[in-house]
Amino acid sequence: MPSPSPSGIRNVALVGHHAAGKTTLAEALLVWSGALARQGSVDRGNTVCDFEPEEISRQLSIGMAMAPVNVEGTKVNVLDAPGYADFANDMRAALAMADLAVVVVSATDGVQAQTEDAWREAAALGLPRVVVVNKLDRERANFDAVLAEVRAAFGAGIAPVELPVGAEASFRGVIDLLDDTATLYELGGTLPRNGTVGEVPGELAVTEHEVHEQLVEGIVVGDDDLMARYLDGETIPRDELQASLAGGVASGTVFPVLCCSAVTGVGIDRLARLLVELCPAPDQRPPATVEAGGTSTEVPCDPKGQPLLYVAKTLSDQHSGRLSLCKVLSGTIRPDAVLVNPRTRSEERLHVLESLRGHEATPVDEVSAGDFVAVPRLTGTRTGDTLAPKSMPASVRLPEPEPPALAVAVRPASRADDDKLMSALQRLCEEDGALTVQRVDETHQTVLGVAGEVHLAVTIERLSRKFGVSVEREDVLVPYRETISKPGAAEGKHKKQSGGHGQFGVCHLRIEPLPRGGGFEFHDEVVGGAIPRQYIPAVEKGVVETMTQGGVFGHPVVDVSVTCDDGKYHTVDSSEMSFKMAAALAFRQAMAEAGPVLLEPVSRLEVTVPAELQGDVLGDLNARRGRIVGTEVGSDGQQVISALVPTSELARYAVDLRAITGGRGRFRTTHDHYDVVPEHLVASLTRKVAES
C-alpha cells in the first residue's frame, strides 16, 4: 500500500482490558479489507498482531503491533495495544502515536480496570475517543448494561450511535441511529461480511426512535444553525449530522459508542467506515512539540516540511537484528535518507524503508508525514529517540514511561550465561521501554525493574529464546545500614613479630553519632607526636574501610564522627598497614560499646486508587509498618494516598496492590530516608543476612 497524503491516513489505537477482543478486532478489519484471506484466532495462535512466541503461548498481547487496513482508499493504521496491566507501557506508546483511541469493551465483562486506565491515559493526552462494544454474539452479552457502565465510568459525552439487532447468538445486525436504518447480516458461511441496509425491525422501532432523538439533540446542541433547523422541525441529513459528530469527537466532547462482533463479522464493515469518518486525519491534530536548543517549537504534519521521525517501538532478533518502527511527524522520507539522532549526535542512514504488518515487512519507496515506517538496522537508535535533519536536531517531547513497579534480582545460570547476560539485557531494554537493568555494586546483584510477574516471566523467556541466556531469580537484597546511638571509645593494638621487621601500631578512637544523613567525619586530635603525622591518613583509611565492610550487624556504617586522640608507635616496626589495622580493631570495639542500631531504607509511596478502595489500601499499608502522610483527591477524581513505608515491605507491592484493588490501583515509590529498625525485628533481619 503506497503512503498517501496525511488527509488519506487515519491512525487508531485499539485499547482496553485484556481479552476484550482487540487483536481479534484487528484481524477482522484485515480480513474485511482484503489484506487477509482468512481470519486467524488468538486461541489457535495464528493472528497477525500476536506473533511473538510468548504472546502465542499465553494468548495475550505483549507488545504494540501494527496492522494497516485499506478502507475504500483510506489507509487506517491500526495499532493493536496490549490490555494486560504489565504491558501498559506499550498501550501508552500506541496512544501517543495515534489520532483516535478506540476503547474496546467486552459485552460480557463490561468496564474493567485496564478499560479505565486506557481511558485515563487517552484523556491525559487529549486524544479523541470512541467506544466499541465487542463480543455481542457471546452468551450473557448485554449491550444496555455495558452502555450504563460506560456512562457511569466515563461521564458526560457518551453517545451511542448504534444499537444491536438481536442478542447473544442471535446478534445479526446494527441500527444506525443517525439515519434510522438497520444493517443486517447473513450469519453462517465465511468471512468477511457486508451487511444489507434496510428498515429498523418493528420490535425495535420505538426504542430506536427515542435514542435517535436523544442522539440528534446531543449533536445539534453544539451547532447554532443545526439547532435552529432542528427546532423548526427540519430533518437534518445524515451527512451533516455525521460532520457535526466528527467535530465533537475531534474536540473531545463527544464519545460515540459502536457495537460489533469481531468473531462473526457483524458490524465490522460499518466500524471500518466509521473509523475513517470519525477519526481526525494526522494533519487535523495538534502539531508535534519538539525541543531544539533549549526551546520548544511546534512542527505541523506537513509532507513538504523538514523530515522528522519518532521511534515508537524497537523489535530485535538475534538473526535479523534491530527493526525500528517510526512515525513520520513531518516531511517525506525516501530510502538512503540521512538523519541525525540528537541523543547520540550521530548520523543514521535509512537504507531501507518498510511497511510493517505484524512481523511481516514490505519495502516501500517513500513515506510521508502522518504515516508509519519500519527501518531495519539503525545502529545507535532506540525506542523514544528522534531522527531529525542535521540542520534541525530536534527531539520530540512525550510523557515519561511509568517507573518499574517490581524489582527482581537475577543471576546467570552458568559462566557462559554470565558472559552474555548484560549485553542481552541491554538489547531487551532497547526493545522494551518498561524494562530497566541495574548492577548494584553493594550487593553484587543484577536487578531488573519490571511491571509485574508476567512481565518478568516474559523477559526471562525472551532472554533464553533470543540470546540463549538462562538466569535464575533471587530476592533483591535490601541495602540496610548501621549507626550508633551513643558515644563510644576503644583502643586498637596491632602487634606482630615474625623475624626481621615486625608490625606495631596503637591508636585510640572516640566515636559519636551524627544526625541522620550526616555521613562520616574524621578528626585528628593527636598531640605530642603519639602517632606520627604520616600515619594519620592510614588511621582514617582503616576506619573508612571497616565502615564499608560492615559493623556489628554486617551492614555498612553511616552517620558517625570518629576522633583519633592518642596512640603509640615504634620507630622501626610501625607502618601505614600497622595503623590501618589498629584503627579497624579500635573502631569495631568502639562500635560495640556505642549502642549500635540497624537502619532500614524507607520509601515515599504514592498510591492512587478509587475512593471505595481507600480503606482496604490504608489497612494494608498499616500492616506493612507504613506511616500515612496524607490523602487527597487527584485530578481524575481518585484518591491519592501518600505514605512512608519501609522498603523491605514493598518487595511485592505491585502484585499485592493489584490483588487488593482488582488492578485499579497504581503507585510510585522513591527513596526517602533511613530510619531505625524496631528492636523486635533486628534478630530476624540479621539472621536473613547471615543466611544470604
Cβ atoms of 602 and 677 within 8 Å: the answer is no
Average pLDDT taken over every residue of the chain: 92
Write the DSSP string, 402-443. PPPSEEEEEEESSHHHHHHHHHHHHHHHHH-TT-EEEEETTT
pTM for the whole structure: 0.88
Indicate whether 681 pLDDT > 90.
no
Q: What is the pLDDT of residue 317?
A: 65
Can you tell me the mean pLDDT for 446-472? 94
- How would you classify the pairing of strands 488-496 and 471-474? unpaired
Indicate whether 318 pLDDT > 80.
no
CB-facing half-sphere around the CA of 101: CA atoms within 13 A: 28
Helix (H, G, I), strand (E, B) or coil at 86: helix
Confidence of residue 690 (pLDDT cuts 50, 70, 90): low
Indicate whether 2 pLDDT > 60.
no
Q: What is the rounded distance in angstroms from the CA atom of residue 29 to the CA atom of residue 267?
A: 10
Give the Cβ contact number of residue 519 at 10 Å: 10
Q: What is the pLDDT of residue 687?
A: 67
Indicate whether 692 pLDDT > 60.
no
Q: What confidence tens digit (pLDDT) does each residue in 614-658 have?
A: 999 999 999 999 999 999 998 778 899 999 999 999 988 998 999
Q: What confidence tens digit (pLDDT) does each residue in 79-102 have?
A: 999 999 999 999 999 999 999 999
- How would you classify the pairing of strands 332-333 and 367-368? antiparallel
Q: What confidence tens digit (pLDDT) does each residue in 495-522 have?
A: 987 666 788 999 999 999 999 889 999 9
Q: What is the pLDDT of residue 228?
A: 86
With pLDDT > 90 as the criterion, what percentage of the chain qualifies?
73
Cβ atoms of 98 and 79 within 8 Å: the answer is yes
Q: What is the rounded distance in angstroms from the CA atom of residue 66 to the CA atom of residue 52?
A: 13
Indicate whether 148 pLDDT > 90.
yes
Indicate whether 433 pLDDT > 90.
no
Identify the residue with better confidence: 571 or 546.
546
User: Computed from CA positions of residues 422, 426, 432, 433, in that sequence, does the dihedral angle turn out positive or negative?
Assistant: positive
List domains and CATH numbers for the chain. 6-284 (3.40.50.300), 288-396 (2.40.30.10), 406-474 (3.30.70.870), 481-594 (3.30.230.10), 598-691 (3.30.70.240)
Q: What is the pLDDT of residue 217?
A: 85
C-alpha pair distances (Å), 173 with each of 183, 241, 295, 601: 5, 22, 53, 60
Confidence of residue 291 (pLDDT cuts 50, 70, 90): confident
Q: What is the pLDDT of residue 677?
A: 92
Confidence of residue 441 (pLDDT cuts 50, 70, 90): confident
Confidence of residue 188 (pLDDT cuts 50, 70, 90): confident
Can you tell me the mean pLDDT for 165-184? 94
Confidence of residue 396 (pLDDT cuts 50, 70, 90): confident
Q: What is the rounded distance in angstroms from the CA atom of residue 252 to the CA atom of residue 254?
A: 6
Q: What is the pLDDT of residue 86?
A: 93
* Gyration radius of the chain's alpha carbons: 32
Indicate whether 218 pLDDT > 90.
no
Q: What confidence tens digit (pLDDT) does each residue in 339-394 have?
A: 999 988 899 999 999 999 999 999 999 999 999 999 998 988 888 899 999 888 88
Residues 6+ away with beta carbon under 8 Å from 20 = 83, 104, 105, 106, 109, 112, 115, 134, 135
Q: What confidence tens digit (pLDDT) does each residue in 25-46 have?
A: 999 999 999 999 999 999 999 9
Q: What is the pLDDT of residue 689?
A: 61
Considering 101-110, 342-351, 444-453, 572-581, the range whose residues carry the highest mean pLDDT is 101-110
Write the DSSP string, 272-335. HHHHHHHSPPGGGSPPEEEEETTEEEEE---TTS--EEEEEEEEEETTTEEEEEEEEEESEE-T
Q: What is the pLDDT of residue 338?
A: 94
Cβ atoms of 289 and 396 within 8 Å: the answer is yes
Exposed, middle or buried, 527 (CB in 10 Å: 0-12/13-18/19+)? exposed
Q: What is the rounded distance in angstroms from the CA atom of residue 11 to the CA atom of residue 77?
A: 5
Q: Grid coordinates representing 374?
A: 519500519
- How would you classify the pairing of strands 367-368 and 346-350? unpaired
Cβ atoms of 447 and 476 within 8 Å: the answer is yes
Can you tell me the mean pLDDT for 179-190? 90
Can you tell me the mean pLDDT for 580-595? 95
Q: What is the rounded distance in angstroms from the CA atom of residue 603 to the CA atom of residue 672?
A: 5
